[in-house]
Amino acid sequence: MNDTPPSDIEFCNVVKRYGEVQAVSGLNFAVKRGSFHSFLGGSGCGKTTTLRMIAGFEQPTSGEVRLAGKSVAGVPAFERPVNMVFQHYALFPHLTVAQNIAYGLRYRNPRPDKKQQLRMADEALEMVRLSGFGQRKPSELSGGQQQRVALARALVNKPTVLLLDEPLAALDRKLRKEMQSELLRLQREVGITFVLVTHDQEEALSMSDSISVMHSGSIIQTATPEQLYEAPASRYVADFIGESNLFDGTVRQLNGNSVVLRTEQGLELTSPLTPNGKALSANAPGCIAVRPELISIAGANADMAREVKLPGSVEDRIYLGNTTEYRVRTQAFGVVCVRVPRQQDHGANAFEHGAAVRVGWDHANGLAMAL
């Protein structure tokens, strides 16, 4: 009996070239049915090209794309069981909200009659919590309401996969958070596969069941948000997801899962090997990553029961509301970033610019990985 859940999207050795430029390089991945998957990366990494090949707006140069288990080679966009929500909504200004939502229904086969189209549009509006807005024009709606209309228009056709091309980029921060919650609610209620493209790591981490981190046309790592943050496979992922203190050096010793790294300054650090990365070997280049929230800070003369302890001085103190970020200049490693919860950073526990301090962490707080 095969317990592997079915996939709605599969890429098999997919390559996409534009002339001499290779936009994506041999992609192999699968997106589980009914999941929320994100492609995360900087500009030009290939994430939007990947989305457009799923949608049918682009065809692979080589390799195969499958939707719901079937190859879609040569199948045009309008015949694929997918719909896309764009960053700029693309609503028709001269049509009402209901007419915008029902627009795509006229291309269904069999085509619903006008009464059915309006009923389906009303159901889609109810799904996105805009009941009663059907007769308004897009210009009479806020940005968040327009985004919900775009979602309703995409969902009214009941696609197998809903594609989201940075759909929240034009919204302010507070509205983005609200719409993230709405998207999660919708995905749970309708139960279809959502695929998001974004450069916003917080957005991807907060919404996704799984994330593919892309760089230079390749997928560097695919994992759950927790795995990406807590066990990055490489220095690039550790640096891209959240913030890390990265100490580069050469592997001096391997003791089971423990790695001893000699830094460029001649100091040795010990940390466990990340469980998801490439194997390291003696004398190979490597890196140890330590998250800022796992590092302690104390006065220069205070006791600190940590395995690694470094003296330094506060270069910057940045108040972030729920946390305070300290950037501490150390002689051994340059600037070390430390994040302290708000309740621990007040009165005698707060350090001003130029204060002499110590920072420290335990070996187990770091992760050793390949560059």
Q: Are 37 and 162 in contact (CB under 8 A)?
A: no
Domain spans of the chain, in order of start: 7-229, 235-371
pLDDT in tens, the chain (371 residues): 456 678 999 999 999 999 999 999 999 999 999 999 999 998 999 999 999 999 999 999 999 999 999 999 989 998 899 999 887 778 889 999 998 998 878 777 777 888 888 888 888 888 888 888 989 999 999 888 888 898 888 888 888 999 999 888 777 888 788 888 888 888 888 899 999 999 889 899 999 999 999 999 999 999 999 999 999 999 999 999 999 999 999 999 998 899 999 998 888 999 999 998 888 999 999 999 999 999 999 999 888 999 999 999 999 999 988 899 999 999 989 999 999 998 877 765 689 999 999 999 999 999 999 88
pLDDT at 328: 97
Query: What is the distance between the alpha carbons of residues 184 and 173, in angstroms, rounded to a whole number?
Result: 17
Q: For domain 235-371, give the CATH number.
A: 2.40.50.100
| Per-residue tokens: 249 | 């050096």
Query: What is the distance between the alpha carbons of residues 191 and 124, in angstroms, rounded to a whole number?
Result: 15
pLDDT at 168: 80
pLDDT at 273: 94
pLDDT at 31: 96
The set of long-range contacts for 52-56, using a CB threshold of 8 Å and a minimum separation of 24, is: 53/11, 53/14, 53/16, 53/24, 54/9, 54/82, 54/161, 54/163, 54/195, 55/80, 55/82, 55/84, 55/163, 56/80, 56/82
pLDDT at 239: 93
pLDDT at 178: 82
| Per-residue tokens: 217 | 């046309």
Q: Under CATH, what is the fold of the domain 7-229?
A: Rossmann fold (3.40.50)
